[in-house]
Structure 1
Amino acid sequence: MGRAAVVVTSVRVFLAGPLASDTLRAAVLGRAVQGHAARLADHAICADRARVGLAAAPGAEAEGLLVTLGPDEAARLGFYQTAVGLCPGTVTVAGATATAHLLAVPDAGPWQAASWAAQWGPTVAATAGDVMALWPEVPARSVAARYGMMLVHGASRVRAAAEAPSGPCRRPGPDDLAVARRRQVYARFFAVEEYDLRYRRFNGEMSPQVNRAVFLSGDAVTVLPYDPVRDRVLLVEQFRMGPFARGDGQPWLLEPIAGRVDPGETPEDTARREAVEEAGLALGAVLPVANYYPTPGAKAEYLYSFVAIADLPDGVEGVFGIEGEAEDIRGHLVGFHRLMDLVASGAVSNGPLILTALWLQRERDGLRAAVARSAP
Structure 2
Amino acid sequence: MTRYFLYGTLRHPELFERVAGTPAKAERASLAGHAVHWVAGQAYPVLIAKDGSDADGVLVDVSAEAAARLDFFEEGFGYRPETVTVETETGPREARVYLSDTRPELGALFDIEDWASRWATVMVSAAEEVMARYGKTDADAAHALWSVFCARGWAREMAAEGAPHALRTDMGRGDLPRLEIAEGGHDGFFRLRRFTVSYPQYRGGYSEAVTREAFCAFDAALVLPYDPVTDQVLLIEQFRYGPLMRGDPGPWVLEPIAGLVDAGEDPMETARREAVEEARLELSDMRPMLKVYASPGYSTEYFHCFLGLADLAGRGTVLAGLDEENEDIRSHVISFDAAMGLVETGEVNAGPLAMMLLWLARERPALRTGA
Q: 1:239 to 1:80 in 2, by over 3 A?
A: same
Please tell me whether the aligned partners of residues 126 and 158 of structure 1 are also in contact (alpha carbons under 8 angstroms): no
1:149 aligns with 148
Match among 23, 34, 41 for residue 14 of structure 2: 23
Q: Percent identity among equivalent residues? A: 38
User: 1:238 corresponds to which residue?
Assistant: 238
Question: How far, CA to CA, are the matches of 1:109 and 1:174 in structure 2?
Answer: 46
Instruction: Tell me: CA distance 1:165–1:102, structure 2 relative to 1, closer, same or farther (3 Å).
Output: farther
Specify the alignment match of 2:370 in structure 1: 370
Paired amino acid for 1:54: L
Q: Partner letter of residue 160 of structure 1?
A: A
Deviation, 1:253, is 1.0
Q: How does 1:97-246 map to 2 (within 5 A)?
A: 97-110=94-107, 111-113=109-111, 116-117=115-116, 119-135=118-134, 139-166=138-165, 168-169=168-169, 170-173=171-174, 176-179=177-180, 181-187=182-188, 190-202=189-201, 203-205=204-206, 207-208=208-209, 210=211, 212-246=212-246
Match of 1:4 in 2: none
Match of 2:287 in 1: 287
In 2, the alpha carbon distance for the partners of 1:151 and 1:85 equals 18
Q: Does 1:96 find its partner at 2:93? A: yes
Report the 3-state secondary structure (helix = DSSP H, G, I; strand = E; otherwise coil) of the residue aligned with 2:186: strand
* Runs of 5+ unmatched residues, structure 1: 1-9, 372-376
What's the CA shift for 1:118?
5.4
Amino acid aligned to 1:291: K
User: Do structure 1's residue 299 and structure 2's residue 299 form an aligned pair?
Assistant: yes
TM-score by length of 2: 0.88
Question: What's the secondary structure of 2:3's corresponding residue?
Answer: strand
* Greater Cα shift, 219-228 or 290-299: 290-299
Q: In the TM superposition, what whole-angstrom CA distance separates every residue of 1:14-33 from its partner, at most 9, and x where no partner exists?
A: 11122213333343344542
Indicate if the aligned counterparts of 2:175 and 2:199 stay in contact, CA closer than 8 A: no
Closer/same/farther in 2, CA of residues 224 and 125 from structure 1, 3 Å limit? same
Aligned residues: 359
One-letter code aligned to 1:171: G
The residue type equivalent to 2:71 in the other structure is: G
Task: Please say which of residues 73-82 and 224-233 is displaced more in the overlay.
Answer: 73-82
- Can you list the C-alpha shifts for 1:151-207, whole angstroms capped at 9, x where unaligned? 1111111111134544524302275233152224241xx222322423235253463
Distance 1:38 1:181 in 2: 39
Residue 137 of structure 1: how far off its partner (Å): 5.3
Query: Shift in Å at residue 66 of structure 1?
Result: 1.3
**Equivalence for 1:70:** 63
- Cα distance in 2 between the residues matched to 1:20 and 1:123: 15
RMSD across aligned positions (CA): 2.4
Distance 1:150 1:332, change over 3 A: same
Deviates more, 1:172-181 or 1:302-311: 172-181
**1:120 aligned partner, one-letter code:** W
In 2, the alpha carbon distance for the partners of 1:260 and 1:362 equals 27
Tell me which amino acid in the other structure corresponds to 1:144: H
Contact 1:184/1:191, CA 8 A, preserved across alignment: no
- Could you give the per-residue CA deviations for residues 232-261 of structure 1, whole angstroms, max 9, x where no partner exists? 111111111111111111111111111111
- 1:292-331 correspondence runs (5 A): 292-331=292-331
Deviations 1:140-161, CA, capped at 9 Å, x for gaps: 4432121121111111111111
Give the Å deviation of 1:126: 3.0
Question: Which of 13, 29, 39 is equivalent to 2:30?
Answer: 39
Change (3 A) 1:120 1:290: same
Q: Normalising by structure 1, report the TM-score.
A: 0.87
CA contact (8 A) 2:181 2:193 kept: no
Dislocated runs of 4+, deviation >6 Å: none
d(CA) in 2 for partners of 1:162, 1:173 = 15
| CA distance in structure 2 between the aligned counterparts of 1:163 and 1:361, rounded to whole angstroms | 27
Query: Residue 79 of structure 2 aligns to which amino acid in structure 1?
Result: L
Letter in 1 for 2:303: L
264-273 or 155-164, which deviates more: 155-164
Q: Using the alignment, how far apart are the partners of 1:173 and 1:150 within structure 2?
A: 25
